Amino acid sequence: MPPDRLAAVHVDQQRTRSLLRAIPVAIGRGEVVSQSGAKILRFPADRDLRYIPCVSANDSMTDWPYLTAELPGVGGEIKRFDDDFVVEEAPLYLPSGQGTHTYFTIEKRGLTTHAVIQHIARLLGRQPYDIGYAGLKDAHGVTRQTFSIEHVDPNRVSALELSRAKVLSVDRHTNKLKLGHLAGNRFAIKVRDTISEPQTPARAVLDVLIRRGLPNYFGPQRFGVRGDNAQIGLAVLRENYDEAFALMLGRPGPVDHGAALKAREFFDTGDFEAAAEAWPRGVFSQQSRLCRTLHKTGGDTRKAWRTVDHTMRKLYISAFQSGLFNRVLAQRIATIDRLETGDVAWKHVNGACFRVEDAATEQHRCDSLEISPTGPLFGRRMTEAAGTPGQLEAAVLAECGLQKEQIAAPGSGKTSGARRPLRVPIGEPTLETGADDNGPYLLLKFFLPPGGYATNVVREISKNPEIDPQIG
């Protein structure tokens, strides 16, 4: 696309929308066929080209193009049993054996990281924010991760009796474990009900991912159970708090049921007091509190937003950032392993970034997966790309009717912003078939750096549209 057309992004939103529609995106969709009892996707030679619009309420990973769209998938299903999905943290450093902080590694099943933290905090008589952790883990499967807490006897931690979790080891260290103190994660994933001989097609896909890198999409868990966290974030940035609360507390969807469904129905009728009483206690305590606030303020959503927990504010804005990153990656998927002048490149060895002044000079480092192009996590401190990459990123943001300054506004939680690599290397990859008491499986083992989603490996190899939206 000529630079003069890309420059039109600064004119107005309508012209931006027209401009972006002119950028073709190869969507990873195709004809659903059955092979050996497994549903997979097949793609015609001239794949459908379709523009991906701004964050919408119907986003799912089926909207994101595959890097290996020309290769057949093996179908299959994951997470049928907890033991089918195992993830283990690789620590950035080991505890020293001395210090006031107790480090402890646990194994959990069917629990989110936050659920475990709340449970442990109650047992130890502490607040959840007292407990440090290096990364968030999904509820599904078996996960082994490390936590820290200060001024608690290690013997008390060792003796904890946890529901669906157990303490594996305890040690001491000199500092609190913080988000990002992680070398990466090792995964062991069993894919069941694949085509009859999955190894050859799975190996073909894996070879491409090893050579070109894994698309670094944010997985569906980033966007919440209802998939609308990014839409809430966008509404907040637009200062449309009525819309934000309608999504947070109303508009029942397919995943809502029981008391939560009733609470959303009460909210939609304007009966905030009844909605507050209807929300189940525990995990929905914040929703109940916000409904009471709305009842007291006569439905003033702007005032009510000020009472939203800071962590939740950041979660919604972060989801919006993630959605825009995914859109930039989708636009560049075909050239994910090619640098452009003006790119902000990522050094995989240490996460440092630098501006690419001459793409041709740096491309050999990109070919070896030493560096990669990045996409935006918009915020006040984000380093902006220049040239064509920068213009594309500005266009994606402008399509939502926002200026970058709005993402750093006080109501947004003053998001710092960052760069994120468009791809990540897959470490220690192995692939084998086997069988256990639950039947045959295809076993995938690999290592991903912090922030990488196993979702992206499985979806490229499987290409099963039925599990695609929820495999994160």
Whether residue 151 is found in the same domain as residue 48 = no
> Considering 59, 138, 343, 468, which one is annotated as catalytic?
138
Residue 256 is assigned to a structural domain of this protein: yes
Token couple for 297:
């303020």
Q: How confident is the model at residue 438 (pLDDT cuts 50, 70, 90)?
A: very high
Supply the pLDDT for residue 174. Answer: 96
Asked if residue 368 is part of any domain, the answer here is: yes
User: What b-and-e string marks burial along 341-369, b requiring 16 or more CB atoms within 10 Å of the CB?
Assistant: bbbbbbebeeeebeebeebeebbeebeeb
Same domain, 330 and 420: yes
Boundary residue ending a domain (273, 308, 343) = 308
Q: Indicate if 12 belongs to the active site.
A: no
Which range among 82-91, 153-162, 218-227, 353-362 shows the weakest confidence by mean pLDDT? 218-227
- Is 372 a domain residue? yes
For the domain that residue 385 is a member of, what is the CATH number? 3.30.2350.20
Residue 219 belongs to a domain: no
**Per-residue tokens: 402:** 């926002």
Q: Point out the domain boundary residue: 308, 325, 345.
A: 308
The whole-number average pLDDT for the span 106-124 is 92
Instruction: Give the per-residue pLDDT at 404.
Output: 77
Q: What is the pLDDT of residue 23?
A: 33
Per-residue tokens: 244: 């934000």
Q: What is the mean pLDDT of residues 365-388?
A: 95
In a shared domain, residues 272 and 326: no
> Phi and psi at residue 88, in whole multiples of 5°?
-130, 130
CATH code for the domain in which residue 254 is found? 1.10.1510
Residue 86 lies in a domain: no
Rounded Cα gap, residues 39 and 463, in angstroms:
9
Is residue 134 located within the same domain as residue 171? yes
Whole-number pLDDT of residue 233: 93
**What's the pLDDT tens digit per position in 275-333?**
999 999 877 888 999 999 999 999 999 999 999 988 888 889 999 999 999 999 999 99
Could you say which of 288, 308, 328 is where a domain stops?
Answer: 308
Please check whether residue 416 is in contact with residue 321, taking contact to mean a CB–CB distance below 8 angstroms: no
Same-domain check for residues 323 and 345: yes
For residues 377 and 2, which has the higher predicted lDDT (pLDDT)? 377
What is the pLDDT at residue 453? 93
Tell me: pLDDT of 413 over 90.
no
Instruction: Say how many domains are in the chain.
Output: 4
pLDDT digits (tens, 9 = 90+) for 195-227: 999 999 999 999 999 999 999 999 888 898 899
Please report the pLDDT score of residue 310 as a whole number. Answer: 83
Closest CA relative to residue 120, chosen from 170, 162, 178: 162
pLDDT reported for residue 62: 56
DSSP line for 110-154: S--HHHHHHHHHHHHT--GGGSEES----SSSEEEEEEEEES--H
Per-residue pLDDT for 5 more than 50? no
Same domain for 77 and 202? yes
- Beta strand 85-91 with 142-150 is parallel
10 assigned to some structural domain: no
How confident is the model at residue 140, as a pLDDT? 84
pLDDT band at 229; cut points 50, 70, 90:
very high
pTM given for the model? 0.84
The DSSP secondary-structure symbol of 339 reads -
User: Above pLDDT 70, what percent of the chain?
Assistant: 83
**Phi-psi group of 459: left, alpha or beta (phi > 0 → left; psi -120 to 50 → alpha; rest → beta):** alpha
Residue 416 lies in a domain: yes
Q: Which domain holds residue 282?
A: 229-308
| Residues 137 and 163 reside in one and the same domain | yes
Q: Are residues 72 and 116 in the same domain?
A: no
Whether residue 12 is predicted with pLDDT greater than 70 in this model: the reply is no
pLDDT score for 14: 37
Quick one: 240 and 292 in the same domain? yes
Question: What average pLDDT does the structure give for the chain?
Answer: 86
What's the whole-number mean pLDDT along residues 348-365?
97
Residues 19-67 pLDDT 10s:
333 333 333 344 545 554 554 444 444 443 333 445 654 455 557 899 9
Q: Within a domain: residue 18?
A: no
The candidate with the shortest Cα–Cα distance to 182, out of 282, 75, 105, is: 105
Tell me which residue has tokens 């002048």: 341
Query: Which of 13-22, 180-189, 345-354 has the least mean pLDDT?
Result: 13-22
Question: Are 419 and 430 in a shared domain?
Answer: no
Query: What confidence category does residue 436 fall into, taking pLDDT thresholds of 50, 70 and 90?
Result: very high
Q: Tens of pLDDT along 378-407? A: 988 899 999 999 999 999 999 988 887 777
One-letter amino acid of 41: L
Task: Tell me the percentage of the chain whose pLDDT exceeds 90.
Answer: 70
DSSP symbols for 343-357: -EEEETTT--EEE-S
Query: Are 396 and 330 in a shared domain?
Result: yes
* Residue 108 and residue 163 in one domain: yes
Higher pLDDT, 15 or 345: 345
More confidently predicted of 29 and 347: 347
